[in-house]
Amino acid sequence: MTEVTAFAALESGGRIEPWTYEQRAARPSDVRIEVQYCGICHTDLHMIGPWGQSFPMVPGHEVVGRVIEIGDQVGAFAVGDVVAVGTIVDACRECESCLAGQESYCLRGATPAYGAPDRIDGSQTRGGYADSVICDERFVYAIPAGLDPAGAAPLLCAGITTYSPLRHWNVGPHSTVGIVGIGGLGHLGVKFARALGAHVVAFTTSAGKAADALALGAHEVVLSRDENQMAAQANRFDFLLDTVSVGYPMTPFVQALRLNGTLCSVGLPAQFDVAPMALAVGRRSIAASGSGGTVETREMLAFCAEQEITADVELVSRGEINTALRRLEGNDVKYRFVIDMAR
């Protein structure tokens, strides 16, 4: 066992506090990783709050660090490698989804990086707001040379969660794509859609993000609370990637879709607020998408290396985690907080 200094919510809705726990001894295929950087995802806020099932909870599923120990059957990594861990740390490995490398869609339920029972010993999984994490090598990723490790950390959740649906819905040079919500996920969605060759429109409620959205790669910006600007978008879009973290009136966005267009939510609000007639008149679809599996995550990291894509990050120290969470809750981040565990 290894004693780990972590930062945990001790109860639902609680502040993040220093906390220690015993991390398991390395299994034969385990990799122990000294955490260097960990992104702060809006899902961490949901998990510390209403979604959380088990406390104390150590959040963090956008981890980059250095390998400090390997089990005796680990073949892909060596001590000293710079690697990453994302949202999923295990899955059944036998079902149709797992066999296709789409473990996040494991038919028996994938094991999240934190706040869930480990498949083997039932202990709680614990995330990257900590000195170290431990993970089976199947769910550990090499960070391509040339990618800044702090900017790469958010790729492991915000990155793959936006890359995956853009690829699934075949976004490319023929596509007109809207990215709704320019936060941690959305700003990477803009970068990916642009790199895939699409015509990209950023939809934001924050006028102060308009110039940034263009700099991130958007061709146009729409202020989504302006009814006239929204009305002008009717029937334009092949695909809308919706990253908004709360429920909101979606019908004006659905009306912006072309015939057969799709709005895919990755923001996962409690409910979709949409008029079915707006879907019917254009045979439009509303979909939702989770994170990606190991095969697509590796593809995404290679794409990021080739296209020089990383997240725009604001580094915070261990002592600033609670301030960062409050600022994230208030939509005050450009565009991802990343904890620098050395500070």
Contact yes or no for 79/69 (Cβ under 8 A): yes
Instruction: Assign 3-class secondary structure to 182-231.
Output: CCHHHHHHHHHHHHCCCEEEEEECCHHHHHHHHHHCCCEEEECCCHHHHH
**36 vs 343: CA distance, rounded Å:** 10
- Beta carbons within 10 angstroms of residue 299's beta carbon: 16
Considering only residues 303-332, where is the footprint of ligand NAP by CB under 6 A? 328, 331
Quick note: the x/- pattern for ligand NAP over 16-55, rule CB under 6 A, is -------------------------xxx--x---------
Determine the residue type at 343: R
Segment lying near ligand NAP (by CB under 6 A), choices 67-75, 135-143, 203-211, 319-327: 203-211
What separation in angstroms does the CA of 48 have from each of 43, 177, 285?
A: 8, 32, 32
Q: Could you say whether residue 167 binds ligand NAP (CB under 6 A)?
A: no
Q: Which residues contact 124 (CB under 8 A, 6 or more apart)?
A: 54, 57, 114, 115, 116, 117, 118
Nearest residue (CB) to ligand NAP, 42 versus 318: 42
Residue number with CB closer to ligand NAP (65 or 252) = 252
With respect to ligand NAP, which residue has the nearer C-beta, 23 or 161?
161
Of 21-29, 76-84, 140-148, 200-208, the window that binds ligand NAP (rule: CB under 6 A) is 200-208
Which of the ranges 19-27, 135-143, 178-186, 228-236 carries the binding residues for ligand NAP, by CB under 6 A?
A: 178-186
Q: Does 253 bind ligand NAP (CB under 6 A)?
A: no
Measured from the CB atom, is 23 or 291 closer to ligand NAP? 291
Report how far residue 191's alpha carbon sits from residue 216's, in angstroms, rounded to the nearest whole number: 6
Q: Spell out the residues 6+ positions from residue 245 whose beta carbon is closer than 8 angstroms to its own.
A: 42, 46, 181, 183, 267, 268, 269
AA identity, residue 223: L
Of 143 and 250, which has the nearer Cβ to ligand NAP?
A: 250
State the DSSP H helix or E strand holding residue 253, giving kind and residue range, or none if neither. Answer: helix 251-254
Question: What's the CA gap between 120 and 139, in Å, rounded?
Answer: 15
Q: Which of 2, 12, 205, 251 binds ligand NAP (CB under 6 A)?
A: 205
Q: How many residues bind ligand NAP (CB under 6 A)?
A: 30
Question: Shortest gap between Cβ of 325 and ligand NAP (angstroms)?
Answer: 11
Among 52, 184, 217, 293, binds ligand NAP (CB under 6 A): 184
* Closer residue to ligand NAP in complex, CB, 185/316: 185
- Among 30-38, 111-119, 264-272, 295-303, which window interacts with ligand NAP (CB under 6 A)? 264-272
Q: Residue numbers of the site for ligand NAP (CB under 6 A)?
A: 41-43, 46, 157-158, 161, 181-186, 204-206, 209, 243-246, 248, 266-268, 289-291, 328, 331
